[in-house]
Amino acid sequence: MTIAVAFLQPGWADWEAGPVLASLREYFGVQIEIATPGGDPETSIGGILAAADYRFDDPVLSDADAYLLIGSEAWQGYENDAVFSLLRQAHADGKIVAGICGATIALAKAGLLAGKAHTSNGKYWLAEQAPGYAGAEGYVESPRAVVDGRIVTAAGSAPVTFSAEVTRLIAPEASERLDGYVAMFAREFGEG
Buried b (16+ CB within 10 A) or exposed e, 165-184: bbbbbbbeebeeebeebeee
CA 168 – CA 31 distance, rounded (Å): 16
Please tell me the chain's helix, strand, coil percentages from 3-state DSSP, rounded to the nearest 5: 45, 20, 35
- pTM comes to 0.96
Rg value, the chain, Cα: 15
Please state which CATH number belongs to domain 3-189.
Answer: 3.40.50.880
Residue 192's pLDDT is: 47
- Give the CA distances from residue 132 to residues 75, 135, 173, in Å, rounded to whole numbers and listed in that order: 16, 9, 38
Taking the C-alpha atoms of residue 132 and residue 94, their distance in angstroms, rounded to an integer, is 25
Res 145: pLDDT: 98
Extents of the domains making up the chain: 3-189
Give the integer Cα–Cα distance in Å for 88 and 4. 16
Q: What is the pLDDT along the chain (192 residues), one digit of tens a residue?
A: 999 999 999 999 999 999 999 999 999 999 999 999 999 999 999 999 999 999 999 999 999 999 999 999 999 999 999 999 999 999 999 999 999 999 999 999 999 999 999 999 999 999 999 999 999 999 999 999 999 999 999 999 999 999 999 999 999 999 999 999 999 999 988 854
Q: How many residues does the chain have?
A: 192
